[in-house]
Structure 1
Amino acid sequence: MPVVNRIADYAEEMTAWRRHLHRHPELRFDCQNTAAFIAERLRAFGVDEIHEGIATSGLVAIIEGQGEGPTIGLRADMDALPIEELTGADYASTVPGRMHACGHDGHVTMLLGAARYLAETRRFAGRVALLFQPAEEDGGGGEVMVREGVMDRFGISQVYGIHNAPNVPLGRFVTAPGPLMAAVDTATVRVIGKGGHGATPHETVDPVVAIVGMVSALQTIISRNLYTLDDLVLSVTQIHTGSASNIIPEDGWFCATIRTFTPEVRDLVRRRFHEIVEGHAAAYGVRVEIDYELGYPPTVNDPAKAGFAAEVAAEIAGEAGVEANANREMGSEDFAYMLEARPGAYLFLGTGPGAGLHHPAYDFNDAASPLGASFFARLVERAQPLEA
């Protein structure tokens, strides 16, 4: 795999950066120490501008190329997860109950490696905007950065991001034109009945049987309301009720995650969810309170930009190392907001065998960092070449 030679020269330093970040995970928007570490490295690299405090702890760094030209945006997310680490690594998290279980420490490292190379060489026209974003896992930091005006403020014309992919061969790039990842919505339903003794159910209004009926019926949205070739996942992930074997509880609740790709399917599911739950409530004589929260939109690649990104990836991984028309995935990603604001593309980069994302034994493969950094660097040089 042809890693850019200069980036290969500081691969060992990149590993040290990543492991420092891994030891010191931060959550949501509270990534101040992570941002300070990033800013310190960027200043040492000689970037031209650093703008801090965006979306609370995010930052944008600018590297000027040679001559006039547009601005290309490159994004890395910074936040960790509220998970107790079980890797046993000597650089494991030093913060109880927090770890980089999704590889955002690796994403930051890849972008820092590219930043160092681009600041040294400047073999491109226009400018590069490096977007270091908090709160991807929870809080929608990408949306906040867009809402705070980073695209207009820095004149970004196109934007790109990478996510690591464990159990995909190391160095393999995966992307697709159009929808790549799903929108995610979350529904929570409280069901209120009348509690009583389990021996006298006729004196109660049982919320348990109502919940069971609702959960079962909601699956008919997929089997009976949706065209077979449309993609939808509706998973009820929690049911909570009851306190003893001989007591019918007063109430209970359940929640579900809903994954879709189009506004039409998203609207259909929301409407049918309410109809089914409220209909069952009437049938069982219970009351319901529905909190249906719209989350991240689908991650939709610009087809031309995705094709261009795949071409650049082939320089790093070879033609056989790029899957340019992959199946879309039901996971979600708040880079979607940046792709709504500007054309661009999102890619996965294989990191080889290992525990999956969000698993307590997950660890980013440091061998992937120079590959991702090389991709970002060549992307800039190809997208904004110097005049011959």
Structure 2
Amino acid sequence: MLSYCTNVHPAEDLDGIVEQLDTYATPVREALGVDVLGVGLWLAAEVASALASDPAARARLAGELKARGLGVQTLNAFPYGGFHDTVVKHSVYLPTWTDPRRARYTRDCLTVLADLLHEDADYGSISTLPLAWRKPWDAAEDDRATAMFAEVTEHARAVSRRLGKPLRLAVEPEPGCVLDTVADAVSWLSGRVDPEYVGLCLDTCHLAVSFAEPAEEVRRIHEAGLEVVKVQASAALHVDDPADPTARAALAEFVEPRYLHQVRERSASGEVLAADDLDLALEELPAEGPWRVHFHVPLHAQPTPPLRSTTDVLTDAITALTAERQAPHIEVETYTWSVLPHASQVDLAAGIADELRWARMEVAA
């Protein structure tokens, strides 16, 4: 079941979530002409906690989803809350995996997902952040995070046994974080977690920004005895010559205050240079090699040249996963519609439907 991630919508209470299902998800399903539309729910911590403590509220939400022809197999538990605040930036990485609030939130999401999981789903998945932003992080924090993963895994195991289907965590490496790359995530997870309940979320925008080769990274995961539990189908911005004035002017239109847009430059020697945000990259990077920008752009619509998107990385990743006989959940995650250049001209429901049509043709098939 191909899903779209509802973190594109700002609601952080149950009534608001139901209203947004009516405003966006139902029209998308109708536009696509499908009986069931997959939705990857984002539940902020406060509403996840309320649902986890109230079986009647969970039953209500399950009923609201079913009545609208919406199916859930995955949750996004990366943003804790405030994901549509005026400024998000580094706060999206809080609380970290050393903070009991992160463990509690993830346990709540597991409890909720067990009651929302669509009948056709073989398993449920929950994507989560790659421990923390990279600084500060020390051995003591490593130990605390390990203990919290063990605690949450035990809850996943218990809930899965009651449900009769596994619920699995999917750790999502992201540039700039403690687990910056797939290699970092594989190294940290291997031998530390139970691979039956913990694997990776492969965000293909993040993969592209790292200038990683999808087939190599999928092979790395497989050889470590881990699995890709979930793919976030997403695309980054790419520019071949960031020194070109036209390219720099086009990139400048994507500078905005809400989200962090990490940039990587690949030098002639193959070294990958880093900047933590697009405005910093325009000031600091040498612009002597191609750039990739962490800005989730709509899958179906290429940016205006000389910019382009990295949908080729997405399709290559799916090809590699197929070759390794892995069939993870696929969730289209373009949360940046509201901060795109000319965002006021966007019809969000129509845009999501167009993305999902593209993904059904190019990815899900």
Query: Higher relative contact order at CA 8 Å, sep ≥6: structure 1 or structure 2?
Result: 1
Higher strand share: 1
TM-score when scaled to structure 2? 0.28
